[in-house]
Structure 1
């Protein structure tokens, strides 16, 4: 059975700055991954190498600066192959910055807990990076 993982965080940065951290390779790797190949257009490449894990997918929806939907999977995985799950980032302005809602859909039961832990870890790093702070080296690297 497939599960949904959803969470929200508030980031003290404008929506445009948070959006940039989801679409620009240099900004993306400040908070998640060591290498990114991103083409933020519908059908464009979404490749991210995270601590030896080759996440592969494509952008499905890109609505600057408020919404991004990408496919998500791991190259070579039988449990979570590329294209089997979908991640949606929704960004809304707040009086102090941005509320980011993340939904990771169609996760296999065996992957939900690990992805919840991972998203909490990386969204905390995104909060630092998007506000102009250095999140430092990823301790999971």
Structure 2
């Protein structure tokens, strides 16, 4: 198993940043790597329970991921399980994501902690996807 940890600073207060990482309507504005849109989902990290999203690229390829929101502690953190689906909609190996928001001198800091990924290749792929998604979030929080 391998882990990925990313940290970003945002020029907004903790409550505002927490809303961006928990509210479904706000999540949709940055969820998924650049060039992807989300045609189908039930994203809402403001409550515990199941969630899923289908991301689609410009060529029409779709990628489904789902899990369960395990904890919500506004405005500090939200945690959820994460598992990709294959072409037959079978859910694969499960990992866990925690988004932690703290106040910082510039506004607030987001720590994305994605744990229990299968291997170094999975870490590299998730690093690329999350980094791209976080660039979209940074554009929203200016």
- TM-score, shorter chain, exceeding 0.5: yes
Q: Which runs of 4+ in 1 moved over 4 A?
A: none
* C-alpha contact (below 8 Å) 1:56/1:83 kept by paired residues: no
2:46 paired with 1:45: no
17 and 3 in structure 1: CA distance in 2 versus 1, 3 angstrom threshold: same
Distance 1:59 1:76 in 2: 21
**1:98 pairs with 108, 122, 130, which one?**
108
Aligned pairs, number: 128
Equivalence for 2:134: 123
Alignment deviations for residues 57-76 of structure 1 (CA, whole Å, 9 cap, x no partner): 11101000110111011123
Report the TM-score, using the length of structure 1 for normalisation.
0.81
Q: 1:82 to 1:63 in 2, by over 3 A?
A: farther
CA distance in 1, matches of 2:138, 2:50: 24
Secondary structure of the residue that 1:125 maps to in structure 2? helix
Does the alignment pair 1:84 with 2:94? yes
Whole-angstrom distance in 1 between the partners of 2:118 and 2:79: 19
Q: TM-score, normalised by structure 2?
A: 0.80
In the alignment, the residues of structure 2 paired with residue 99 and residue 82 of structure 1 have an alpha-carbon distance, to the nearest angstrom, of: 31
In structure 2, list runs of 5 or more residues that go unmatched.
33-37, 57-61
Q: Deviations over 1:12-40 (max 9, x none)?
A: 11111211122222111111141431343
Looking at structure 2, the residues matched to 3 and 61 of structure 1 have their Cα atoms a distance apart, in angstroms, of 22
Q: Paired residue for 1:113, among 118, 124, 129?
A: 124
Tell me how far 1:92 sits from its aligned partner.
0.2
RMSD: 2.1
Tell me if 1:72 matches 2:72. no
The unaligned stretches of length 5 or more in structure 1 are: 132-141
